[in-house]
Amino acid sequence: MRTAYQEQLHSLNVILGEMCDLAGSAMSRATQSLLQADLAIAEDVISENERMNDLTGRAEEQAFGLLALQAPVAGDLRGVVSALQIVADVDRMGALALHVAKVARRRHPAKALPEEVAGYFAEMGRLAVQLAENAREALDTQDPASAIRLEEDDDAMDDLHRHLFTVLMDRDWKHGVAAAVDITLLGRYYERFADHAVLIGRRVVFQATGKTPEQLNA
């Protein structure tokens, strides 16, 4: 029975890893559409979100099947519950990439980003993709150390997000309220994307050890 459970949980984690890849790819292309005002790429990101919805449904179905058919307890139950939480996190990452693409589409043919902040978002996009890749690696390896390291990249994202506000609050800002609102929302989308990747890392730690990162480091 336990062998069957482990095989099914591994299969579930494979789907979660695929979802991480999809979220990272979506954010990469959404960022490209944002920086280049590329409507075709934005439309691709939006239309391909259905793939994330399909994977979310498959992952949830498989997790609930594990609960119903395997009746896991203790550590096994911990693995399934954590997996269900990860499903929600990765699904949200995909939704945040979708939001970025929709901003690019809404502002087309103009660019949504003034040149003063384009570099910030290029770097935030790079970090977001890296976080998605590292979340995938943590899921694959179930290594608590690599899962905890996700927080380091999140710190870099938080720094960029804070610096954005120094640009927006500058008295020489000349791009108006609409651009400031877009930039505020976009910065939040990238920050939340990173936060969900960190949560995946924390859940992997709990899956693997039964402890939080704080408990491990105590």
pLDDT tens digits for range 109-140: 999 999 999 999 999 999 999 999 999 999 99
For residue 167, being part of any structural domain is answered with yes
Q: Is 122 within a domain?
A: yes
Q: Is residue 218 part of a domain?
A: no
Using alpha carbons only, give the angle 27, 29, 33 rounded to the nearest 5 degrees. 115
- Convert the pLDDT of each residue in 155-167 to its tens digit: 999 999 999 988 9
Percent of all residues in the chain with a pLDDT value above 90, rounded to a whole number: 70
CA dihedral 114, 118, 120, 122 (to 10 degrees): 160
Residue 4: how many other CB atoms lie within 10 Å: 11
| Structural domain includes residue 158 | yes
- Whether residue 42 contacts residue 105, with contact meaning beta carbons closer than 8 Å, is answered with yes
Percentage with pLDDT > 70 across the chain: 97
CATH number of the domain that residue 16 is part of: 1.20.58.220
Domain that holds residue 16: 2-213
Number of domains in the chain: 1
Does 169 fall in a domain?
A: yes
pTM, two decimal places: 0.93
Asked whether residue 16 is domain-assigned, the answer is yes
Asked, for residue 163, whether it belongs to a domain, the answer is: yes
Is the separation of the CB atoms in 57 and 90 below 8 Å? Answer: no
Q: What is the pLDDT of residues 35-78, one digit of tens each?
A: 999 999 999 999 999 999 999 999 999 998 888 876 667 777 88
Residue 14 lies in a domain: yes
